[in-house]
Structure 1
Amino acid sequence: MSLAYSLQEIPYVAITLIIAFTVHEFAHAFVAWKFGDPTARNQGRLTLNPVRHLDPIGTILIFLVGFGWARPVPVNRFHFKNPRLAGVLVSAAGPISNLLLVILAFVLWYGIGPESIIAETFINIFISLNTVLFVFNLLPLPPLDGYRIIEDLVPANVRVKMTQWETYGSLIFLIIVLTPLNGYIIQPIFSTVVPSLLGGLNDFFLQLF
């Protein structure tokens, strides 16, 4: 993610990330629990307490290099009656939760309206960052949710090979994100998909309200 914010906007970014990361990881834990896996719940991750989900280093790096992470929710596929279906839904729950936060923010924007420039700035940042997180986490690169979804959709023999090469894939992912390759591979996706998605949602809610 390319995050360029003024010092005055940093508090809004921090609050947004705390909410976005917390809801994202809670969604993973909740769906896994509903499908029969108590692992995350037993480790105290079935909560909206940010302390249980935020990774200090991953959060700090967001502000330093524009890339970071929360603590991954542990999932034990052996508890699922249908591992493939449950795996896809558990992985998709995180990004979908960020999209739902975007929709909620649009409803507040057009339904109530920001009462001040502070509220307007916060909602704008909240919408843009959660949209970026939604798109970013669906990229088919390990260890992102998009990669996990593909793992559960492909045949078993392909999944085994993907698992074997996952370490190398994660290294390639970091190289892409933290080097100038980002501008040629990931940023073009953001510069096209994110504005299109935001434009579509904005038009929808503009007509709705």
Structure 2
Amino acid sequence: MRPSPVFLGILALTVAGGVMAAFGDVSSILLRDRDPLLIAGVVIFVAAGWVASLSLHEFGHAMVAYRGGDYSVAHKGYLTLDVRKYTDPVLSIVLPLVFLIIGGIPLPGGAVWINRGALRSRGTSSWVSLAGPLSNLAVGAALALVVALVPMSGGLVAAMSYLALLQVVTFILNILPIPGLDGWGAIEPYLPPQARAFGAQIRPWAPIILFAILWFFKPANAALWDGAYSIFDALGGNRFGASAGASLFRFWD
């Protein structure tokens, strides 16, 4: 259950990005020629921080499963926070980061394989599914709280606020009761066999259809972000900082 060197390295990269953002020229945010150090810092902080949050998300699933009776997660390395144990490098890291950079929509990334039959109850199985999204919400709340309480440079405010907002978006997406997402996993133990069988059939395609809708149907995309900002505001998030962070992260836009 010790954090792996890979996870510690990702945290170190996140910190390095934060230092770069902190020393970047914040006055250039509204200018056409923005400070390269500021842009690089925000990009590194958000991208590396998002990968770190992916590890925490999957660790949340695994830890609750372990405490709920599935001890196989320890042998699979899921309790080490090593992102390599949860992911396919292209499908789980590269592709989601591309979507994040292009459209700002954080796709669900990795996955842990849980032996649901070893879990003690249906309630435990539901909490295993909920633990991942709740970890994203906790990370978002922690980042928003740090921004609100700790004096820091504008560049770091932008980077942390935008990453906090992305955590909230990730929470909302994962909590939806759609096959293939954690929200479905939370209710699946209580569904009749026919519904579970139907969910298993459409599981590979349902998330793809969801993201196609979010990508091409503007009202759905707007509803997602409106909901995210409502939760973000409730957490005390800095809207101006999140907007500046999004602008810097997609610096070419």
TM-score, structure 1 as length reference: 0.81
Matching residue's letter, 2:226: T
Alpha-carbon shift at residue 68 of structure 1 (Å): 3.7
Map residues 68-147 of structure 1 onto 2, 5 A cutoff: 68-82=107-121, 84-113=122-151, 115-147=152-184
- Aligned-pair CA distance for 1:178: 3.0
Aligned ranges 1:1-209 → 2 under 5 Å: 8=40, 9-57=42-90, 58-66=92-100, 68-82=107-121, 84-113=122-151, 115-154=152-191, 158-178=192-212, 182-183=216-217, 186-202=220-236
Specify the code of the residue in structure 1 equivalent to 2:179: P
Residue 191 and residue 43 in structure 1: after superposition, are their counterparts in 2 closer, same or farther (change >3 A)? Answer: same
Deviation at 1:189, TM superposition (A): 3.3
**CA shift digits 1:156-189 (9 cap, x unpaired):** xx24432344232431431331357652574243
The 3 A distance-change label for structure 1 pair 165 and 69 is: closer
Distance 1:175 1:121 in 2: 32
When the two structures are aligned, how many residues end up with a matched partner? 193
The question of whether the paired residues in 2 share the 8 Å contact of 1:92 and 1:145 is answered with yes
Segments of structure 2 that go 5 or more residues without pairing to the other structure are 1-37, 101-105, 238-253
| Greater gyration radius | 2
Moved over 4 A (4+): 179-182
1-side partners of 2:147 and 2:171: how far apart?
19
Change (3 A) 1:185 1:136: farther
Change beyond 3 A, Cα 1:180–1:198: closer
Q: Which amino acid aligns with 2:109?
A: A
Identity over aligned residues, as a percent?
24
**What amino acid is aligned across from residue 26 of structure 1 in structure 2?**
F
Cα deviation 1:110-138 (Å, max 9, x = unaligned): 2223x223321221122111111111100
Aligned-residue CA RMSD in angstroms?
2.4
Secondary structure at the aligned position of 2:120 is classed as coil
* Residues 38-84 of structure 1, C-alpha deviations (whole Å, 9 max, x = no match): 121110111223333343112111233345443311111221221x1
Is 1:177–1:186's contact at 8 Å kept on the other side of the alignment?
A: no
Q: Are 2:55 and 2:86, in contact at CA under 8 Å, matched by a contact in 1?
A: yes
Distance 2:137 2:210 in 1: 24
Question: For structure 1, which runs of at least 5 residues remain unmatched after alignment?
Answer: 1-5, 204-209
Deviations 1:140-167 (A, max 9, x none): 112100011121233xxx2443234423
